[in-house]
């Protein structure tokens, strides 16, 4: 709801904004988009790919309950 209100305010303001101001905002948003995109890409590259068990018991007890009938 709050985001919709903010979007409405932006929409109403842009109708009366100066072209130079709109260009400045667009360039700033595009720069922010590039920074966020690079950050997410780097995070994904550095994300660990090994799926280690949370505790040592997880690995040793895997499947034992169904095998023993407990």
**Site of tokens 């690995």:** 59
Per-residue pLDDT tens for 43-67?
999 988 887 667 766 556 555 555 5
The Cα–Cα gap between 5 and 46 comes to 37
Q: Say if CB 53 and CB 59 are below 8 A apart.
A: yes
Q: Provide the mean pLDDT of the chain.
A: 85
pTM score of the predicted model: 0.56
Cα 30 vs. chain centroid, distance in angstroms? 17
Residue 30: per-residue pLDDT: 98
Domain chopping of the chain, boundaries: 18-42
- In three-state secondary structure terms, 47 is coil
Is residue 34's pLDDT more than 70?
yes
Q: Say if CB 22 and CB 14 are below 8 A apart.
A: yes
Alpha carbon distances (Å) from 68 to 35, 53, 57: 54, 22, 16
């Amino acid at each position: 709801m709050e985001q919709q209100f903010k979007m409405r305010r932006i929409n109403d303001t842009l109708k009366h904004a100066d072209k130079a101001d709109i260009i400045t905002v667009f360039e700033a948003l595009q720069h922010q988009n590039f920074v966020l995109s690079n950050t997410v890409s780097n995070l994904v590259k550095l994300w660990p790919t090994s799926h280690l068990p949370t505790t040592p018991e997880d690995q040793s007890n895997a499947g034992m309950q169904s095998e023993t009938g407990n």
